[in-house]
Structure 1
Amino acid sequence: MLALDQSDFLARYWQREPLLIRAGVPDFVPPVSAEELAGLALEPEVESRIAECRGDPATAAAWQLEHGPFQPSDFDRGHPWTLLVQGVDQLLEEVAALRSLAAFIPGWRLDDIMVSYANDGGGIGPHYDLYDVFLLQGAGERSWRIGQRCDDTTSLLPHPDLKLLAEFHGEAEYTLRTGDVLYLPPGVAHWGISRGDSTCFSLGFRAPRMADLLSRWLDARLEHLPQSLLLRDPGRDSATAAGEITGGDIDNTLQQLRALLEAGGDDSWFGELVTESVLEPPAGRALRRLHLQLGEPGSARLAPGARVAWQVADTGIRVFANGASEGFPASARDSLCILCAGEPLPLPAVPTVQSVLEFLLDQGALDVD
Structure 2
Amino acid sequence: MHADQRGPEFRSALGRLISIPERAFSDEVWGRTPLLTRASELDRTFEDLLTPADVDELVSHRGVRTPFARMAKDGALLDKSEFTSSAGFGAEMPDQLDSSAVLSAFADGHTLVLQGLHRLWPPLIDFTRDLVDDLGHPSQVNAYITPAASTGFSPHYDVHDVFVLQISGEKRWMIHPPVHTHPLSNQPWSDRREAVEKQASNTPYLDTVLTPGDVLYLPRGWIHSAEALGDTTIHLTIGVASFNDYDIAHRVLGALQDDARIREPLPAGLDLTDPDATAPHVDRVLDNVAAALERIRSDPEARRSIADELAARLVAITRPAPVDPLRTVAFIASLDAASLVTWRQGLSPRITRSNGRVHVGLRDKTISLPDECADALDDLRSGQPRRVADMRGLDPDSALVVAKRLLREGIIVPSE
| 2:278 paired with 1:264 | no
Q: Who is 2:99 aligned against?
A: 72
The 5 Å alignment of 1:189-228 reads 189-195=223-229, 196-208=231-243, 213-214=248-249, 216-217=251-252
TM-score normalised to structure 1 length = 0.68
Describe the shift of the 1:146–1:213 C-alpha distance in structure 2 as closer, same or farther (beyond 3 A).
same
Q: Quick one: structure 1 residues 360 and 140, their matched pair in 2 at CA, closer, same or farther if it must change by over 3 Å?
A: farther
Structure 1 unaligned segments of length 5 or more: list them: 233-243, 340-344
Letter in 1 for 2:239: G
2:144 corresponding residue in structure 1: 116
Instruction: Give the structure 1 partner of residue 179 of structure 2.
Output: 150
The residue aligned with 2:69 is: 49
Q: Measured at CA, do residues 247 and 82 of structure 1 come closer, stay the same or move farther in structure 2, by a change above 3 Å?
A: closer
Comparing 208-217 and 67-76, the one that deviates more: 208-217
The SS at the match of 1:182 is strand
The 1:279/1:172 distance shift into structure 2, 3 A limit, reads closer
Q: CA RMSD in A?
A: 4.8
Shift of 1:48: 2.4
SS at match of 2:177: strand
Shift in Å, 1:356: 9.3
User: Aligned residue for 2:11?
Assistant: none
Q: Deviations over 1:314-351 (max 9, x none)?
A: 99x99775477889847645643538xxxxx4664754
Aligned to 1:237: none
> CA separation in 2, counterparts of 1:16 and 1:264?
32
Q: C-alpha separation between the residues in 2 aligned to 1:276 and 1:202?
A: 22
Aligned-pair distance for 1:190? 0.7
Q: Report the equivalent of 2:276.
A: none
**For 2:57 and 2:208, how far apart are their aligned partners in 1?**
30
2:273 matches 1:273: no
Runs of at least 5 residues in structure 2 that lack an aligned partner in the other structure = 1-14, 85-94, 181-186, 263-278, 393-398
Deviation of the 1:293 alpha carbon: 8.9
Tell whether the 8 Å contact from 1:137 to 1:178 is kept in structure 2 after alignment.
yes
Q: Deviations over 1:82-136 (max 9, x none)?
A: 22222323333323443488578434x1312222322213433322111111111
The residue type equivalent to 1:9 in the other structure is: F
Q: CA distance change for structure 1 residues 8 and 211 in 2, over 3 Å: closer, same or farther?
A: closer
Of the candidates 338, 343, 347, which is equivalent to residue 308 of structure 1? 347
Displacement, 1:251? 6.3
Say which SS state the counterpart of residue 80 (structure 1) adopts.
coil
Q: Which has the higher contact order (CA 8 A, sep 6+)?
A: 1
| 1:236 matched residue in structure 2 | none
- Gap change, CA 1:357 and 1:4, over 3 Å in 2: farther
Query: Normalization by structure 2: what TM-score?
Result: 0.62
Change (3 A) 1:125 1:332: farther
Q: How many residues align?
A: 332
Which structure dedicates a bigger proportion of its chain to helix? Answer: 2
Whether the 8 Å CA contact 1:298–1:347 is kept in 2: the answer is yes
In the alignment, structure 1 residue 140 sits paired with structure 2 residue 157: no
Q: Distance in 2 between matches of 1:251 and 1:100?
A: 42
Aligned-partner residue type, residue 106 of structure 1: L
Check 1:85–1:300 CA distance in 2 against 1; reply closer, same or farther (3 A cut): farther
Q: Secondary structure at the match of 2:108?
A: coil
Asked if the contact 1:272/1:325 (under 8 Å) is kept, the reply is no
